[in-house]
Amino acid sequence: MTSADELIRAGIRPVKRRVEVDLLSRRGVVGVDIGEKVTAGRRTGQIGIVVYVRHKYLAARLRPADLVPAEIDGIATDVVADDIVLHRALLDADFPPARGAERHRQVLGGISMGPWRTVVLAPPDAPRAGEYAIVGTLGALVTDRAGNGHVMGLTTFHAACVDDAWSVGDEMVHPSRVDSGASPDDVVGTLCRAALSGSVDGAAVLLAAGRSYRPSIVDVGAVTGTSPAARGTVVRKRGRTTGLTTGRITSVDATIVLDYRDGLGVRVLRDQVRIEAVGGRVMGDYGDSGAAVVDPDNRVVGLYVAGNTLGTVAFASPIGKVLDELDVDLITD
């Protein structure tokens, strides 16, 4: 039975979709969502359109065209200050120490992985000009829907492809180059397919011949299947940087703006899953991109893509759309 809250959200959804392009064009806006309005730090119980901005400014400092109206078609709005960034990590950058970068003999979910190739970056894309290695997380194992038996590791586009110079066959190492991985001994596989679309940031890595694997996630256990993300569900993820963390899904309607830089520019991802860390803790950080987000039954609901700068909020691409665009199925135990 559909709850009253879900019926309200269903009514708001078409309005949000109609106005979000206009809202995203306003100064500092980085996302549009559906959520509960918060006033003076207190939840009001009123569901409306949430607009995420990098910084809140006094109305007097904004052009009229950049102001977010108090309501749209009778639906309340709420402006929330919260920047959103991709959560891959760079070698030598000032990022926190990793809790999930250990070496594994078998390939499984929740482990450190990154491209063997490096990229040349300069400010603002990196703290200083130089050559950088990228690291993310291998989230889970998948197989080609064609039935050829190929086993692949699932991760994000921005952690595996990095920029517009990527190509099929790029070597991936575990642990990542950031975490002392080396070629050829630590090559876990090669990039074989990728998707960066309006709702998916994903990639698949074909495992090297003879590589032992297990359809399980470190600290989580055997993967049992997939499930659509549902608001209110308690979920976990195991990532390269923050290890095992727990959160709660607060929305499946998030539209977020992400700067991929590196020749790829700014992209908009729609229908993303928003997850808040429980107990005021951290849900993820730089290096966790690509982690599988699972429900209490170890069913994958999303692929971790981004988060806020504090790490208390995460965003994931819906797993069904990820698998469809990569034309793969999840391997379960």
Residue 315 and residue 260 share a domain: yes
Band the pLDDT of 94: cuts 50, 70, 90: low
Residue 230 and residue 151 share a domain: no
- Residue finishing a domain among 189, 214, 239: 214
The sign one gets for the Cα dihedral 322, 98, 100, 150 is positive
For 168-218, how does the pLDDT look when each residue is reduced to its tens digit (9 = 90+)? 999 999 999 989 899 999 999 999 999 999 999 999 999 999 999 999 999
Residue 234 and residue 196 share a domain: no
Number of domains in the chain: 3
Q: Identify whether 284 is part of a domain.
A: yes
The rounded distance, in Å, linking the Cα atoms of 305 and 317 is: 7
Q: Which domain holds residue 10?
A: 4-82
The rounded distance, in Å, linking the Cα atoms of 331 and 74 is: 46
Domain of residue 135, CATH code: 2.40.10.10
Residue 305 and residue 257 share a domain: yes
What's the N-to-C CA distance of the chain in angstroms? 32
The rounded distance, in Å, linking the Cα atoms of 200 and 239 is: 19
Residue 190 and residue 163 share a domain: yes
Q: Identify whether 294 is part of a domain.
A: yes
CA distances from 98 to 36, 94, 140, 241, 278 (A): 34, 12, 19, 4, 20
pLDDT of residue 300: 98
Q: pLDDT averaged over the chain?
A: 94
Domain of residue 19, CATH code: 3.30.300
pLDDT of residue 125: 77
Q: Show the tokens assigned to 285.
A: 């950080």
pLDDT of residue 127: 81
How many CA atoms, within 13 angstroms, populate the side-chain half-sphere of residue 259?
9
Tell me how many degrees the CA angle 246-249-253 measures, rounded to the nearest 5: 150
Q: Let me know: does 272 contact 259? Beta carbons within 8 Å.
A: no
Residue 230 and residue 204 share a domain: no
Give percent above pLDDT 70 in the chain. Answer: 98
